[in-house]
Amino acid sequence: MKALSTKKKTSKTVSTVDRIADASLMLFNQHGERNITTNHIAEHLKMSAGNLYYHFRNKEEIIFRLFNRYRDNILSFINENPEPSTPQELHDLVVYILDIMWEYRFLFSDVTNLLARDHELENEYTNFTINKVSPTIRAYLIHLIDLKMVNMDQLDIAIFISNFWLVIKHWFYFDKSLHHNVLDKHSKLRGIKNILGMLRPYVVPEKRQDYDAILLNYMLL
């Protein structure tokens, strides 16, 4: 993980760090991360560039802090909520994931270039995916199999996890490219539809009606 400045931090400093991170998130989401510099962020906050650099040495440190926020939100949800046991609970899980992704959508709008520019961020993202989230998704799927809600073998599980992360990682970039380079909340809803649709072939016939009733809410998007 990237180290921030080693200078002693007061409560005022922590508040300023959060203000910088919050403003950066808003600007990155609205205008695209590559279009925003640290000078833009400082100007938005009406602070000097030197003051901003006191807290963050460069834009990459700001992005890294925002990624950690995203990661911590996902992990908090995983740790605080039980495994999904019904089609509705599964839907709610997917909605939560896409809600958090939407909040930090700049991370996923051009994720390939973003990670290529910062190998430390790329390593952190990969470790998070491999060591935290993928095992959780596997545990969720095994739980659903045990409940006889889905029917999957080990190969199905492995392929689904890979496809799930392929879609999650690139969804906003892909959706934006299909809709005149526009990213809006419909992009999030279409993401929910596609992730739920990926699992649909594995849902057992006895649960398919309830599952489809949820999925059909998204089909006109």
Domain with CATH 1.10.357.10 in the chain: 60-218
Identify the architecture of domain 60-218 in CATH: Orthogonal Bundle (1.10)
Question: What integer pLDDT is reported at residue 10 of this predicted model?
Answer: 46
pLDDT digit string (tens) for the chain, length 221 residues = 344 443 444 444 457 999 999 999 999 999 999 999 999 999 999 999 999 999 999 999 999 999 999 999 999 998 998 999 999 999 999 999 999 999 999 999 989 899 999 999 999 999 999 999 999 999 999 999 999 999 999 999 999 999 999 999 999 999 999 998 888 989 999 999 999 999 999 999 999 999 999 999 998 87
Which residue spans of the chain are classified as CATH 1.10.10.60? 11-57
DSSP codes, 146-183: HTTSB---HHHHHHHHHHHHHHHHHHHHHHHHHTTT--
The CATH architecture to which 11-57 belongs is: Orthogonal Bundle (1.10)
Task: Show the DSSP H helices in 4-153 as ranges.
Answer: 11-31, 38-45, 49-55, 59-80, 87-103, 106-109, 111-117, 119-128, 134-146
pTM: 0.88
Indicate the angle between helix axes 185-199 and 205-215, nearest 10 degrees. Answer: 170
Q: What pLDDT was estimated at residue 14? A: 53
